[in-house]
């Protein structure tokens, strides 16, 4: 491999679509092959490497560089290896080709480009890592796009003094971001022939009332508090499905709600609100925590001294998982979130090269 672009291209050409959450668009799912490639690369750089299975056939790849000076202090570079679905893409999702100064393919922006920039920097700095003031770790994590299983597993296994989750942030330091809660609601009714609806009970009508309650009461309450970088918490009903045929009164209805919360906000009140209105409603809430890391942290200041800006983000990532385990964490990487998950995903080659140089300068600043 001659540079970060070749590494990113190689990673893109290895499908690692997350199998959870609907149609992956390919039968080549899971991160195992990509993790094995990264493991071989890290070993070639002198790292001690392990593949740690998180889910069946889906391992985190974890490597560290032996160190004589760090006295147990650790920094983790932590991009994720999974990508979102390739269904509906307008380009070959696994081409890894460069065209008009852009590297194309699923994961180019989110986050195989960042992974490549980090890996290249580690390769170039490998001779000095044993004398760094921190022991340097790298983890290619599974499952960030659905469940954050890789981050949760590693955060429960290891402790770090600072974590840099790899995300396309235009090389800015995301020290705070919103949390995400996905609320699944299900209402029930009684099916009868649609010619006699009064004899049944319409589950869709129950759901309509629940959604109207969210619009009328939950959304304004979420907007009561504001964060200087992130704005207010938000709520959006994303999907709704109910009934089986037009001539049958529906006996079930399901809806999914996306809730984005600023630090300090708790969406649990929404569950209480819904259950007070309809004790029979079924509710499941999955939460990804918001992130806040004190921007005065010395390593954040170090990143800023190398040219990084300090920003917040409306999306969530693995940094918050490590922070919830007591590890100061940020998100950072080359490329733009505007290209993530798109039908023609790409990262500018110039941005990728800037990222590799940035991470190399950061590593050399630690010696």
Q: Is the pLDDT of residue 235 over 90?
A: yes
Average pLDDT over residues 331-358: 97
- If pLDDT is split at 50, 70 and 90, which confidence band does 244 have? very high
Average pLDDT over residues 248-267: 96
Mean per-residue pLDDT, 300-310: 98
The stretch 28-39 carries a mean pLDDT of 97
Please tell me the predicted confidence (pLDDT) of residue 206.
Answer: 97
4-177+290-365, what's its fold? Aminopeptidase (3.40.630)
Sign of the Cα pseudo-torsion (152, 157, 161, 162, in order)? negative
What pLDDT does residue 68 have? 85
pLDDT value at residue 1: 74
**C-alpha pair distances (Å), 206 with each of 76, 190, 243, 319:** 48, 12, 12, 38
Q: CA-to-CA distance for 127 and 66, rounded, in angstroms?
A: 11
Q: Flag whether pLDDT at 22 surpasses 80.
A: no
Kindly give the residue spans of alpha helices, DSSP state H, lying in 137-196. Answer: 149-157
pLDDT of amino acid 337: 95
Q: Please indicate whether residue 82 or residue 22 has the higher confidence score (pLDDT).
A: 82
Topology of 179-288 in CATH? Answer: Alpha-Beta Plaits (3.30.70)
pLDDT recorded at residue 367? 82
Q: What's the pLDDT at 222? A: 96
Percent of the chain with pLDDT over 90: 95
Residues above pLDDT 70, as percent of the chain: 100
Render pLDDT for 102-129 as a digit per residue (tens, 0 to 9).
999 999 999 999 999 999 999 999 999 9
Distance CA 295, CA 312 (A): 11
Q: Which residues contact 158 (CB under 8 A, 6 or more apart)?
A: 62, 74, 76, 137
d(CA 245, CA 356): 55
The closest alpha carbon to 269, from 172, 356, 183, 174, belongs to 183
Entry pTM: 0.90
So where are the chain's domains?
A: 4-177+290-365, 179-288
Quote the mean pLDDT of the chain: 96
Asked if pLDDT for residue 349 goes beyond 80, the answer is yes
pLDDT in tens, 45-97: 999 999 999 999 999 999 999 998 889 999 999 999 999 999 999 999 999 99
pLDDT at 21: 72
What pLDDT score was predicted for residue 144?
Answer: 96
């Amino acid at each position: 491999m001659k540079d970060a672009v070749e590494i990113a291209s190689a990673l893109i050409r290895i499908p690692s679509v997350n199998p959870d959450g609907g149609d992956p668009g390919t039968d080549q799912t899971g991160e195992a092959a990509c993790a094995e490639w990264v493991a071989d690369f890290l070993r070639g750089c002198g790292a001690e490497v392990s593949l740690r299975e998180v889910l069946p056939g889906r391992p985190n790849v974890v490597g560290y560089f032996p160190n004589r000076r760090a006295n147990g202090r650790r920094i983790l570079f932590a991009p994720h290896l999974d990508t979102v679905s390739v269904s509906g893409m307008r380009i070959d999702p696994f081409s890894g080709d460069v065209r008009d100064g852009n590297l194309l393919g699923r994961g180019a922006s989110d986050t195989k480009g960042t992974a490549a920039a980090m890996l290249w920097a580690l390769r170039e700095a490998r001779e000095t890592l044993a004398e760094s003031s921190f022991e340097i770790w790298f983890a290619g994590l599974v499952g960030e796009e659905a469940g954050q299983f890789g981050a949760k597993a590693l955060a429960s296994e290891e402790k770090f003094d600072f974590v840099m989750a790899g995300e396309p942030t235009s090389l800015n330091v995301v020290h705070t971001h919103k949390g995400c809660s996905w609320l699944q609601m299900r209402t029930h009714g009684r099916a009868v022939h649609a010619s006699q609806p009064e004899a049944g009970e319409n589950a869709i009508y129950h759901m309509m009332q629940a959604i109207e309650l969210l619009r009328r009461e939950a959304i304004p309450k979420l907007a009561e508090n504001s964060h200087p970088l992130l704005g207010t918490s938000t709520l959006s009903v994303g999907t709704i499905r109910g009934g089986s045929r037009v001539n049958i009164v529906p006996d079930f209805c399901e809806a999914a709600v996306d809730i984005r919360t600023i630090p300090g906000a708790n969406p649990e009140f929404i569950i209480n609100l819904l259950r007070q209105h309809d004790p029979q409603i079924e509710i499941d809430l999955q939460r990804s925590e918001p992130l806040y890391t004190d921007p005065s942290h010395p390593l954040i200041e170090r990143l800023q001294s190398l040219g990084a800006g300090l920003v917040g983000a409306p999306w969530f990532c693995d940094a918050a998982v490590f922070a919830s385990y007591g590890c100061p964490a940020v998100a950072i990487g080359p490329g733009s979130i505007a290209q993530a998950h798109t039908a023609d995903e790409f990262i500018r080659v110039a941005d990728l090269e800037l990222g590799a140089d940035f991470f190399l300068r950061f590593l050399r600043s630690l010696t």
